[in-house]
Amino acid sequence: MSFAGFECEQFVRGKGTAMKRSVYELFFCLTAFAAAPLCGQNAELSGTITDTSKSVVPQAAVRILSRTNGWDRKTETNSSGIYGFPSLPPGTYDLEISKEGFQTLNRTGIKLDVETHVQLDFTLKVGNTSQTITVTGDTDLVQNTDASLGNVITTQAITQLPFYARDPIGLFFLQPGVTNFGGGIYSEISGAVNGGKNDQANITLDGMDVNDQDSRALYSVLRITSDSVQELRMTTSNANADMGRSSGGQLALVTKSGTNELHGSLYDYHRGTETTANSFFDNRVGNPKAPLLIDVFGASVGGPIKKNRLFYYFNYEGRRDRSGASVLQTVPSARLREGIVQYIKTDGSIGELSPDYIKASIDPQHIGPDPAVLKLFQSYPFPNDNTQGDGMNTLGYRFSVPQHSKEDTYISRFDYVVDSAAKHNLFWRGNLQNDHSGGVPQFPGDIPSSVGLNNSKGLSVGYNSTLKPNLISTFRYGFTRSGIESTGIQPAGAVSFVGISNRHALTRGDARRIPVHQVTEDLAWIHGAHDVRVGGVGRWIRNIDIQPAPFHSADIRANRIKGAAIELEANVPDLPSDSGSYRDIMVDTLGLISDAIANYRYDINGNVLPLGSLAKNVNGNNEYELYAHDTWKVTRALTVTAGLRWSLMPPFYEATGEQTSMTFSLNDWFNQRMALAQQGLPQYAVDKITFVNQKDPRWKPLYPYHKKNFAPRLSLAYSPQASDGWLKWLTGGPGKSSIRAGWGMFYDLFGSTVAHQFIGNQPGFSTSILNGVNTLTASTAPRFTGIYDLPSQLIPPPTKGGFPQVLPDSSSGYYLIDDTLKPPYSMNMNFSVGREFGHGFFVQGSYVGRLSRRTLLQRDVATPTDLKDPVSGMDYFTAAAQLTKLGFANTPTAQVPAIPFWENIFPGATGNGLTATQAMYNEYKGWNGDGTDALYDIDVYCSPACSKFGPFAMFNQQVPALSVPSTLGKGAYHAMQWTVRKRFGEGVTFDLNYTWSKSMDYSSRPEWTGPFGQEMVVNVFSPRQMWAVSTYDARHMVNAWSVWQLPVGKGKRFLNQANRLVDALLGGWQISGIWTQSSGLPVTVGNGRAWPTDYWVAGYATQIGPVPGGNDTHNGEGPNLFADPAGAYAAYSRTLPGQTGQRNGLRSDGQFSIDSALSKRFTMPYNEHHTVQVRGEAFNTTNTARFACVYPSRGNPTQFGKYTCALNGPRIMQFALRYEF
């Protein structure tokens, strides 16, 4: 079978298990597509009909009529008096109930929202069917069918609220339990739902998947315009079994349909520089405000092609952005440009080293500041911002540059009622976008660093069939193709400096196409008091990635220069021991190239590809899910919903056959390393890492095929039915309050980024060889001669291609996959009490909890081991920590006592009047807390001596680091959440939400973060050291939104008889707004370019004293996390070997923002259904600056605690004109 965009190979993959897989997958496909699955994104209406004596009324005729499209559907109550209409399109309906011997009851204006189950009970009065009682009213606000938490936002709020991006998905951030701290779509701190990571949201459009299948960032790959959305359903906790592809928030959007009435809009939104405030930081450094010129314009129209049968809807929206972007880079200071290096002396004053002094007393080659380096430094602009860099040798340069973009979006939908009885309905929806965006230059005058293109597209086809009045089938097919390309400007391999921005952007182009085919078939069956739904879904995803092979590269890094801590510091007057910042700058100034990485790519035959040549990978993934759940109305008051979701998760694979695997389990290899260390044996005895291709019988998939992902769901909903007495006073009467409890198991989606990062750089097809680390000294390191001049002597030739492929010794750090990966899951629970009050008010209080298990975290399985001395029983971490403590105390070498570990494991270090311990102490003291660099000198290069085993007693001989995703984490979240809601009535609607919560975990990083980075496990032998509040833990969050049509003018409370002129002046005014406020997010103090425990992961500083309170955002040095930065700096120390440090121990600035809008609507004199709305909107109305981007580090005392960016933007005003009919 094949679809456009990929070959459907899901039935024949793998070795030896293909037939077994085929059985599972064929079973899923046949069951899912012959039975019934997922998310048609419809609504459901049911209830019980009784007479005045509260006896049920069977066989009553119930007819529902669509107000917008004119069709109707009929059913009868069963023997229990229960009626039901499953799988109704969201919209407004009228209901007619009749039974011989009773008066006919009409209920008008029933609003059914997407993915909601509404229960409406009615009482028939004795009489004739010719007698009709008409009741007008909306549905109850109380949810009394299940325990899911969430809300439905309709067109009115979507189009009338002031949203900066005009993206309806932004409304999701206004739900309780959802973090909202900006940072863009790839921010790990925004979009986290009830303690879950933000890559677990699930977004559907008309029932079809529109998620980012590569990184799973929280956005739709198809642009969804505000004007095209009929409504948005958001579920934040305990979705039923028919939802919940992942464990995060569930967002279901429905595209508008045409109706029997012609309707549409024309609109233009404009933002300009003249009504925009300057950003806080640009204003602070004296930069003029960046130009702002954005126009968003469009049109929509919908109506009938054939009344009651065939309908259309179109929407076009364009955006033209000719604005400026603010950029912050780190540049050399004016003194450093002259070759003068500054440092902090032991008394806290600033010392200076002149070029002549550096040449004579610091540089062992007696060259002094490298001429090519100084020439490069002098090509940078002068700094203008003191919030960046180390505050002495490097500072910030903040500037504004033009950044233009062009976006066009096209959306259409057709609906067809096949038969006059409306038993069969079809729809087709299509989306297309064409975007062009320019990147920013590295510095003013440079060319843009990139150009981006986006031509993503998608379609959805649906067929609804009423097989019986109580049996509805819903079929969906969807195709979504994300298409993104970008260009780059890097011409060749480059040399990079530490602590200084690259002079030229080192961007590379790439192209990615991700076609996704999805098929679902939904079956809803009402039987007696049971509402049963069963179903399944199939997705076929191909991630086609084309990118150039990486160039070679070289670094200038002090921690990779052997003996730099001693050789470059011996003649520096009054240099403190904590001098990592000085060492970095001195190596930069001397231009000492410390190491190089040679990158080679191979074809499937083992031939080396030319540098920069294009490489293509096609990552395949097939997903299959089945679910069944039953909503059982036990009594009129009690409803029990139970369900089960079963997910089949085959591993990702490379569809063209270019996929390798290790010959043994990486997890077993890591356990072997630990076992050797515990036995006091060296690491050179561990198995060699070897890779094979798919032709080898030892080849295996990336991780196991997961077939037992059963996720049960259970909820209880109790709605008191008291109709009199104090219980009615307390509960509001029948159906006006509910008590709900729910528990559910939800599996995380995972594997897309894991597979992409591994397959794109897998050994055998890609090799990175690290050369020079800790072998070159300040005397032997080659000097910098130019950005694109790599020392040829540091670039080793390629290793032999082909398979089996043994990972070469001295390889760079690699990204591999733990072959024991298991699907992460969460257990969600909630308990809520809600009550509806008069005038459309609703109040709900909830407990919401989540227990996350087997969460993804990143660990380094090649980390140097904690070798145990079998004689003394002392381990390496204990021995290294003792030396480090002595070094922090500046203990004289002669006073260092013998430590058994060093004496027994490194007896060869004894000599020259020193014990082995004292010789090792000098090495560790020189590195001043950088324990793994000291160990690298000792264990790899035998300086001052090797262990009794020789080299590689603790380091692995092949690689210094292997970053591996493993499902070993866990988390916990507990919250109290309150919601006060006002349904639209009397011209007002609003939501007010408050969350008080605490989230804890081992790591908060989503899967899409890089192989080595923040929140990687520091001590893999004790990951529990990472347990702390989550990076996105906001203790208090409050948000609100409101739309208020002022009660003035014709038909309103005041001046309701006004003439046309008065109404034109005073009527039609509207105020709307959004308020967001929260406490601050956690902040971690960095360890200051010291790697005590892991060679590749620095970890965090350790708090050793009280941190002075206060948060100074107004001092002359710029906004700071601390009122007393020097006192706060003194409260932290570098961390000891074997330790992680304090993760997330501080709190940053909190969020505060108010967005507001004022609008005036004019009714056209030629048609009262045609209106013009004039709007003015202000984002961050109060122009309040709250701050972010704070990275305090022990290695940078002068900049400790400084904020470098704002959490929210400056005040921006937008003006709009809308014509609606």
pLDDT (average), residues 320-329: 93
The pLDDT assigned to 1116 comes to 66
φ and ψ at residue 523, rounded to 5 degrees: -125, 120
10 Å CB burial of residue 610 (0-12, 13-18, 19+) is exposed
pLDDT of 226 over the 90 cut: yes
Torsion sign (Cα): 749, 754, 757, 760: negative
Percent of all residues in the chain with a pLDDT value above 70, rounded to a whole number: 96
Given a cut of 60, whether residue 359 has pLDDT beyond it is: yes
- Sign of the C-alpha dihedral, residues 873, 876, 877, 883? positive
Distance CA 177, CA 1030 (A): 14
Please tell me the distance from the alpha carbon of residue 411 to that of residue 813, in angstroms, as a whole number: 46
Phi, psi of 280 (to 5 degrees): -55, -50
Whether the CB-CB separation of 837 and 821 falls below 8 Å is answered with: no
Q: Which residues pair with 537 in a beta bridge?
A: 520, 625
1013: number of Cβ within 10 Å:
11
Does residue 400 carry a pLDDT above 80?
yes
> Which tokens hold the place of 480?
């979504």
Closest-CA residue to 542 (of 3, 6, 2, 4) = 6
pLDDT for residue 39 = 41
CB 180 within 8 A of CB 1188: no
Can you give the pLDDT at residue 185? 75
Only one residue has tokens 């006919």, namely: 104
Mean pLDDT, rounded, for 604-627: 91
Tell me the three state secondary structure of residue 1141: coil
**Distance, CA of 409 to chain centre:** 24
pLDDT-based confidence at residue 138 (cuts at 50, 70, 90): low
Lowest mean pLDDT among 427-441, 506-520, 753-767, 966-980: 753-767
Task: Give Cβ neighbours of residue 528 (< 8 Å, ≥ 6 apart).
Answer: 78, 79, 80, 82
Rounded distance, CA 112 to CA 44, Å?
7
Q: What is the DSSP letter of 816?
A: -
> Which pLDDT tens digit goes with each residue over 422-475?
889 999 999 999 999 999 999 999 999 999 999 999 999 999 999 998 899 999
The upper half-sphere exposure of residue 239, i.e. CA atoms within 13 Å in the direction of its Cβ, equals: 28
Q: What are phi and psi of 865, to 5 degrees?
A: -80, 165
Least confident of 492-501, 594-603, 771-780, 1066-1075: 771-780
- Mean pLDDT estimate for the chain: 91
Write phi, then psi, for 155 (nearest 5 degrees): -55, -40
pLDDT for position 596: 93
Is the CB of residue 95 less than 8 Å from the CB of residue 64? yes
pLDDT confidence band for 753 (50 / 70 / 90)? confident
| pLDDT for the residue 22 | 47
Label residue 137 by pLDDT band (50, 70, 90).
low
Q: Which helix (H) or strand (E) holds 98?
A: strand 91-98
Q: What angle do CA 643, 646, 647 make, to 5 degrees?
A: 145
Given pLDDT bands bounded at 50, 70 and 90, which one contains residue 1115? low
Report how far residue 1132's alpha carbon sits from residue 1146's, in angstroms, rounded to the nearest whole number.
12
Q: How many residues does the chain have?
A: 1221
Confidence check: pLDDT of 296 > 90:
yes
pLDDT bucket at 41, cuts 50 / 70 / 90: low
CA dihedral 232, 236, 239, 244 (to 10 degrees): 80
Give the separation between CA 989 and CA 167, rounded to whole angstroms: 20
What does the pLDDT look like over 926-951, one tens digit per residue?
888 999 999 999 999 999 999 999 99
Mean pLDDT within 1114-1142: 91
CB 316, CB 395: distance < 8 Å: no
Please name the residues in contact with 1175: beta carbons below 8 A apart, sequence gap of 6 or more: 1157, 1158, 1159, 1160, 1214, 1215, 1216, 1217, 1218
pLDDT at residue 772, rounded to an integer:
79
78-87, 112-121, 306-315, 902-911: least confident range: 112-121
Residue 352 buriedness (CB in 10 A; 0-12 / 13-18 / 19+) = exposed
Q: How confident is the model at residue 90 (pLDDT cuts 50, 70, 90)?
A: confident
**In this model, does residue 857 exceed pLDDT 50?**
yes
Q: What is the C-alpha to C-alpha distance for residues 966 and 856, in angstroms, rounded to an integer?
A: 6
Q: Give the residue ranges of DSSP H helices in 791-875.
A: none
pLDDT score recorded for residue 3: 32
> How does residue 128 score in pLDDT terms, banded at 50, 70 and 90?
confident
Q: Mapped to the 3 state alphabet, what secondary structure does 1026-1090 carry?
A: HCEECCCCCCEEEEEEEEEECCECCCCCECCCCCHHHHHHHCCEEEEEEEEEECCCEECCECCCC
Per-residue pLDDT at 612: 80
- Residues in a beta bridge with 614: 548
Residue 667 makes CB contacts below 8 A (sequence gap 6+) with: 818, 819, 820, 966
Give the DSSP H/E element, type plus range, for residue 1179: strand 1171-1179
CA 902/CA 867 separation, integer angstroms: 11
Query: How many Å apart are CA 460 and CA 559, to the nearest integer?
Result: 55
Asked if the model's pLDDT at residue 28 lies above 90, the reply is no
User: Which is higher by pLDDT, 43 or 135?
Assistant: 43
CA dist 1069 and 613 (Å) reads: 61
Taking the chain, what is the end-to-end CA distance rounded to the nearest angstrom?
A: 46
Q: Do 1076 and 1026 meet the contact criterion of CB atoms below 8 Å apart?
A: no
Nearest to 37 by CA among 652, 521, 442: 521
> How far, CA to CA in Å, does 999 sit from each of 177, 845, 1003, 1028?
11, 19, 11, 9
> Token digits for 434?
């064409």
How do residues 709-744 score in pLDDT, each as one tens digit? 999 999 999 999 998 999 999 999 998 999 999 999
Q: Which two tokens stand for residue 736?
A: 């006006």
Q: Residue 9: which residues within 8 A CB-CB, separation 6 or more?
A: 620, 655
Entry pTM: 0.90
* pLDDT exceeds cutoff 70 at 6: no
Instruction: Domain ranges for the chain, please list them.
Output: 331-397+556-592, 876-953, 983-1220
Q: Are the beta carbons of 565 and 778 closer than 8 angstroms?
A: no
From CA 570, how far away is CA 347, in angstroms rounded? 18
Give the CA distances from residue 1060 to residues 217, 986, 1159, 1220, in Å, rounded to whole numbers and listed in that order.
Answer: 50, 22, 18, 19
CA angle 68, 71, 72 (to 5 degrees): 120
How far apart, in whole angstroms, are the C-alpha atoms of residue 438 and residue 448? 7
Contact present, 570 and 551 (Cβ < 8 Å): no
Q: Does 1117 or 1211 have the greater pLDDT score?
A: 1211
**Residue range 573-594: average pLDDT?**
89
Strand, helix or coil at 27?
helix
List 1176's β-bridge partners, or say none.
Answer: 1158, 1215
Residue 881 carries which DSSP code?
A: H
Are the C-beta atoms of residues 698 and 692 closer than 8 Å to each other? yes
Q: Which residue, among 616, 536, 620, 542, has the nearest Cα to 14 in the 3D structure? A: 620
CB 501 within 8 A of CB 330: yes
Decide the pairing of beta strands 451-454 and 424-438.
antiparallel
Single-letter residue type at 379: S
Residue 926, token pair as written in the block = 């020189």
Percent of the chain with pLDDT over 90: 73
Over residues 687-696, mean pLDDT: 94
Residue of 500 and 14 predicted with greater confidence: 500
Which H/E stretch holds residue 1003? none
Residue 274: partners with Cβ closer than 8 Å, 6 or more residues away:
none
Q: Which residues contact 1168 (CB under 8 A, 6 or more apart)?
A: none
- What's the chain's Rg over C-alpha atoms? 33
